[in-house]
Amino acid sequence: MANWRDTGFGGSVMMVWALVTVPLTVMGILLAVPFLGRRRAFYTVGPLFARGMAWFCHVPFTLQGWDKMPEDIREGRQPVIFMSNHESQMDPPILVAALPLPAVYIAKQELKYVPFIGWAAWVAGVIFIDRGDRDRAIRSIHDAAMQIRGGKNVVIFPEGTRSRTGQMLPFKKGGFALALDAGVPIIPMATVGGFQVLPPDTLRFRPGRYTVLMGEPVNPSDYASRESLMKEVQGRIEALVAEARTAY
């Protein structure tokens, strides 16, 4: 007998559940801010929502490779930039739940004005980049680098937007300029499963599993240019995605 989540009715139920719980979760985060502060409120309530969504929609996830990271990274003494491919709108909440350390996102400025999502992003300390204005974008990247050097871990999707085909898009250079400015290690990652769980142009979930696979840190100072750094990281992410899909 098919699981109810595998039916069209089940997909609709999961969609409605997500649409209802997102604003409730954001309100819970905002109510916790006076007691916990902005970042602690988000990273206390946010992962609970993400894990609850993964459980309700039957989207189990695994994180592989974290145990191989240097101790300074695992203990939070060394800030890093996590860079991942981007298959689905489910990727950010899955990573919020899967990453062992709090990490803020680099996001486009427009997200700030989306009801509920933008409010949660502000509480979390998301670093917004104005991609429509080159000078402001450069200043935003420099400010972000200072925050990273100050101890923030960040997550970047170097494709700039999610894939609509399941195949990786060309990488944008901004994240690598940020990494060179910040001078912190890049952790290449593969996030696989989202294209099946929540494909583009739909809000209907499908049961399925997620694999988050981490590779060895890349030191930006080992590369002579932004282009050579980008080529190296892109190659590593492509290899991780291929490995994760083989095991998927």
The CATH number given to whatever domain includes residue 52 is: 3.40.1130.10
Encode pLDDT of 180-205 as tens digits. Answer: 999 999 999 999 999 998 888 777 78
Name all contacts of 9-17 with Cβ < 8 Å and 24+ positions apart.
11/204, 11/205, 11/206, 12/204, 14/56, 14/57, 14/204, 14/205, 15/203, 15/204, 15/205, 17/53, 17/56, 17/57
Which string of DSSP letters, residue by residue, matches 190-203? EEESHHHHS-TT--
Edge-to-edge strands of the sheet including 127-129? 61-64, 210-214, 186-192, 81-84, 154-156, 104-108, 127-129
What gap in Å lies between CA 83 and CA 79, rounded to an integer? 13
pLDDT digits (tens, 9 = 90+) for 74-114: 999 999 999 999 999 889 989 999 999 999 888 878 888 88
Nearest CA among 91, 94, 88 for reference residue 60: 94
Counted domains in the chain: 1
Residue reference for tokens 């300390």 = 125
Structure tokens at 184: 């912190």
pLDDT, one tens digit per residue, over 1-50 is 357 677 777 777 777 887 888 889 999 999 999 999 998 999 999 999 88
The SS3 call for residue 118 is: helix
199 near 170, Cβ under 8 Å?
A: no
pLDDT band (50, 70, 90) for residue 141: confident
State the residue range of the domain holding 171.
Answer: 4-247
Long-range contacts of 129-136 (CB under 8 A, 24+ apart): 129/174, 131/174
Distance, in Å, from the CA atom of 192 to the CA atom of 213, rounded to the nearest integer, reads 8
How far from 8 is each of 2, 11, 12, 180, CA to CA, in Å?
Answer: 11, 5, 6, 47
Statement: residue 136 has pLDDT above 70: yes
What pLDDT band is residue 248 in, cutting at 50, 70 and 90? low
CB 213 within 8 A of CB 243: yes
